[in-house]
Structure 1
Amino acid sequence: MRAGTGAQRPTAAPDGGSAEPCPLSYDGLVQQVRAAELGPDPRTLRIAVAFTTSQAVRHDGRRGGYRNEVLSLRLDRAVGSCAVEPGALPAGAVDDCAGADVARLLEHPLPAVRVAALDAYLMHVRPHTPENGALPRPLPAGSSLEKSRARARAVAGLLNLAPGRTVLVVGVVNSLLEALRARGLAYIPCDLKGGTTEWGEHVVTDALAALDRCDAVLASGMTLGNGTFEPLREHALRTGRQLVMFAQTGSAVLPRFLGSGVSAVCAEPYPFFWLDGGPGTVHRYGRTGAAL
């Protein structure tokens, strides 16, 4: 494991010697933050700015469109984010966060607030730098579709699979499906919204029911906010199959699970590629020798 990319707890062997580290769970990571084991006491850190970003997308040449909404929290120079279903964030949620300390927000009733607060804290104490295990991958300037495809290639390159294998894609992004097709990989698209892909393929809604039909899982960081990340992580640990995460939500959270079920992460902190036509950067963690 790369230095600074995980936070596993060592366990003692029966004979008193050292044993393999115990895999880290999401709740375990939150407990470490609350106990100030990874950095400053979260009770001493306050969120200065809370904001939402909402977008509607309809790319040229694509027959469908979609909407995104993201809650973001500013902690000093760091921004933590969690995507939500458009319109799902109640009025007053942003006001709850501005000026609140991180410890209080880690106990907020809204999952999106808890995830964004955890992301902001970890971005603050362990930013995406080579010293913390991150390998920067530049995204060229271009249209929203061009940048989406560039990001998709960066994500797909983290999968270590031969052509013909099948990937469960949790959180459908058509550019990612396109990138998998280009590598000769089959896929099962999965999204809570259901529907069809750009190519008319049926989108399943139950990721766990499809796991045994796949050789690897490629999942969005949105799984942190909707509670499906832990079952995916536990499945990867149990079976040894690859779990690659692409993360705007929880970009600083998910690299902490390398070696605890997650095999690689493409982390994309705010501002996201769809907000600007200029060059950008994503940060990749995990598999060495990944396709450039």
Structure 2
Amino acid sequence: MTAVRPASAGTLTYETLLARARGGELGPHPAGLRVAVAFTTRQAVRHDGRGTGYRNEVLGLRVGAAVGSCAVEPGATADGVVEECAGAEVERLLDHPLEPVRVAALDAYLMHVAPHTPAHGARPVRVPAGTSLEKSRARARAVVGLLHLPPGATVLVVGVVNSLLEALRARRLAYVPCDFKGGVTEWGEAVAGDALAGAHRCDALLVSGMTLGNGTFEPLRRHALEHGKQLVMFAQSGSAVLPRLLGHGVSAVCAEPYPFFWLDGGPSTLHLYQGGVR
């Protein structure tokens, strides 16, 4: 099992990263940058051959060539929020009262400053063209490949995606599925609602970036750091934010900026990070 750096006085958190961005410590001052386009992307999914489906909604903010994203609960983003964000200074949105807006603004800012390229520590992985299920499975294999665990280990999965569970099963890894929505997995397994409680009985954590937007990320990061567990993030939300936390509780990131694999049947790219970000 890969060791995770112990906690130290210099440990970064999401909030300290946000504060540094507000102060212009990570690049150009955000007061000088504006959001050109704000939008939401909504989807409902039911793959052929699968008995269950799900819905997603993602807030997107464009700064220059970069799009920052944060998942929200379906129907939670009022049209007024999108209109408010369009044309706004990034500095103001980093202080917005809604957490998903702050996450999307930070994500756009950091991707503008340091896009997903090998020069910034990313390893690109191509997802071949295919059906929605084929692409979902290809992504899942890339994400699960970031875990360094022996067969029989148990993984907490926060943000249940059946393709990820399928890939863990193929690796002979046990898992504890967790999601706010509850319910059951494709295999009839109960989905827990309390991620932190489940983390204590798991060897590693596989966590969606949408935890940034609903306030559940930091407790999981601290748990991983304090207990020396791997924390692998699969990130459409905050894809440029989470690589900054490598070595500060996060051990690896599968970063997937907008447009996401499910928006198109053609090839798409994932960006894998392990170790520090330059």
TM-score range for the pair, normalised by the shorter chain length: over 0.9
Distance 2:95 2:104 in 1: 12
User: Is contact 1:75-1:124 (8 Å) kept?
Assistant: yes
Find the counterpart in structure 2 of residue 255 from structure 1. 243
Q: TM-score when scaled to structure 2?
A: 0.95
Q: Could you tell me how far 1:74 is from its partner in structure 2?
A: 0.5
CA radius of gyration, larger in: 1
Distance 1:62 1:285 in 2: 30
Using the alignment, how far apart are the partners of 2:179 and 2:260 within structure 1? 21
Secondary structure of the residue that 1:169 maps to in structure 2? strand
> 1:111 Cα shift?
0.9
CA distance in 2, matches of 1:134, 1:161: 22
1:198-247 deviation per Cα after TM superposition (whole angstroms, max 9, x unaligned) = 11000000001111100000000000001011101111110110000000
Q: Distance in 1 between matches of 2:33 and 2:239?
A: 20
Asked if residue 42 in structure 1 is aligned to residue 42 in structure 2, the reply is no
User: Paired residue for 1:285?
Assistant: 273
1:1-292 paired onto structure 2 within 5 Å:
22-286=10-274
Say whether the 8 Å CA contact 2:247–2:275 is kept in structure 1.
Answer: no
Gaps of 5+ in 2: 1-7
* Percentage of identical aligned residues: 73
Tell me how far apart the structure 2 counterparts of residues 260 and 268 of structure 1 sit (CA, whole Å). 20
- 1:287 Cα deviation (Å)? 6.0
Q: Unpaired segments of 5 or more residues in structure 1?
A: 1-19
1:120-160 residue CA offsets vs partner (Å, 9 max, x unmatched): 00000011011110000100000000000000000000000
Cα distance in 2 for residues equivalent to 1:278 and 1:269: 15
Deviations 1:16-46 (A, max 9, x none): xxxx771101111011111111100000100
TM-score (norm 1): 0.91
Could you say what secondary structure the match of 2:205 adopts? strand
Equivalent position SS for 1:192: coil
Note if contact 1:158-1:287 (Cα within 8 Å) is conserved in structure 2.
no
Give the drift of 1:109. 1.2
Say which SS state the counterpart of residue 118 (structure 1) adopts.
Answer: helix
Return structure 1 stretches of 4+ with deviation > 2 angstroms.
Answer: none
Which residue number in structure 2 is paired with residue 8 of structure 1? Answer: none
Deviation at residue 65 of structure 1 after TM alignment: 1.1
**SS across alignment from 2:92:** helix
